[in-house]
Amino acid sequence: MTVATRQTRELTHDELVAADARLAEWLVGEPGHSLLDTYPQIFAPDAEVAAYGAFEGDSLRSHAAVRRVRMSTSQATLEASLVGVVATDPTARGAQLASGILHRIADREIEAGQDIIVLWSDLWEFYAKLGYAVAGVQAELSLTRPEQHADGCRPFVTDDLDAITELHAAKPWRVIRDRAEMQRLTTETRTDGFVLERDDTVVAYAFHGKGVDFPGWWHEFGGSDEDVAALIPAAMHALDQPTATVLLPPYRNELLDRLVPHGTSLQEGAVALCKPLTDRGRCQFFIDGLDSV
Ligand SMILES: CC(C)(COP(=O)(O)OP(=O)(O)OC[C@H]1O[C@@H](n2cnc3c(N)ncnc32)[C@H](O)[C@@H]1OP(=O)(O)O)[C@@H](O)C(=O)NCCC(=O)NCCS
């Protein structure tokens, strides 16, 4: 009898792309999905990402990807490592494969001088054992669409990229994006984008849904609290959406106050789980939906 050898190593991008459907099945729990239009920043051919796999022989059994970004936070501009698509073959779970990959990623990011590792998961206990803690609190507001809504809402088009890149740059806490990154995230992701236009100027934007992620959620917006509060109900009408959930950053209290009259329930959620690697990494931050992996 031969026993397949086990190893953890970096995947080539071709191997990562070839594993897309399998990773989607491990994450979503059913076949027939792709992660390319959920996480183009990981799966697109020119994505700048490092992907690690635990293999048994030639077979991939567990995976995690890491993407380095610059992040504007309460402390300073930080070098952050966003970890995502953490998934193990259901037949190989409990064998420390994901933990092994995550330890390896942490060692690599420490060595590279990164300030913080960030990831998104409900499995707080699993990640607590690996040194991750809840990073902060976000409001998650369930809304019923109000009848009254503002004029000037229309679907996002690529000609809006300059305007929405500027609106994103005005946020106090964010992943720093250039126009090309904004283009990738808004045009290669399966998402519904809307803008609010006033006097021929785009004053706000909002995105809903994201591939297999964020079904029924408004997870990213830019512009003043007043304009975003006008845009979301109008965009719900444009999408013919009677109810939705809005994910509110910690710095958007005024927006929350404006939307609460239309809310049916308000919950607190975790901004993310994080593992600070430097003193600067002990900060408050928020990452918009299109950046999350
Ligand atoms: C979460 C997941 C990646 C863990 O993979 P894994 O290779 O089985 O993890 P490990 O074997 O390294 O687990 C290590 C520890 O975490 C615990 N653990 C694993 N999955 C867990 C879960 N779903 N809930 C709570 N604890 C869990 C294990 O019991 C083990 O504990 P121990 O060290 O005390 O024995 C895997 O369950 C999975 O693919 N789940 C579906 C996708 C998912 O939810 N991904 C996370 C989103 S980022």
- The rounded average pLDDT for each run of 10 residues, N- to C-terminus, in the chain (293 residues) is 84 96 97 97 96 96 98 95 98 97 98 98 95 96 92 97 98 97 97 97 98 96 98 96 97 97 96 97 97 97
Our answer on whether the CB atom of 30 is closer than 6 Å to any ligand 1 atom is no
Tell whether ligand 1 has an atom less than 6 A from the beta carbon of residue 128.
no
**Topology match between the domains 6-136+272-291 and 138-270:** yes
CA angle, residues 10, 14, 18, in degrees to nearest 5 = 100
What number does the ligand 1 atom closest to the CA of 54 have? Answer: 7
Residue 80 has what pLDDT? 98
Say yes or no: CB of residue 27 within 6 Å of ligand 1: yes
- 126 token code pair: 């699993």
What was the pLDDT predicted at 149? 84
| pLDDT value of residue 1 | 63
| Residue nearest ligand 1's atom 10 by CA | 96
Ligand 1 center from residue 131 Cα (angstroms): 14
Supply the CATH classification number for the domain 6-136+272-291.
3.40.630.30
Establish whether residue 98 lines the binding site of ligand 1, counting it when its CB lies within 6 angstroms of any ligand atom: yes
Which amino acid appears at position 216 of this protein? G
pTM for this prediction: 0.95
What is the structure's pLDDT at 6?
Answer: 87
Question: What's the confidence (pLDDT) of residue 75?
Answer: 87
Question: Would you say the CB of residue 99 lies under 6 angstroms from ligand 1?
Answer: yes
Tell me which fold the domain 138-270 belongs to: Aminopeptidase (3.40.630)
Nearest Cα neighbor of 36 from 85, 92, 100 is 85
pLDDT for the residue 2: 65
Determine the Cα–Cα distance for residues 97 and 108; give it in Å rounded to an integer: 17
For the chain, what are the domain ranges? Answer: 6-136+272-291, 138-270
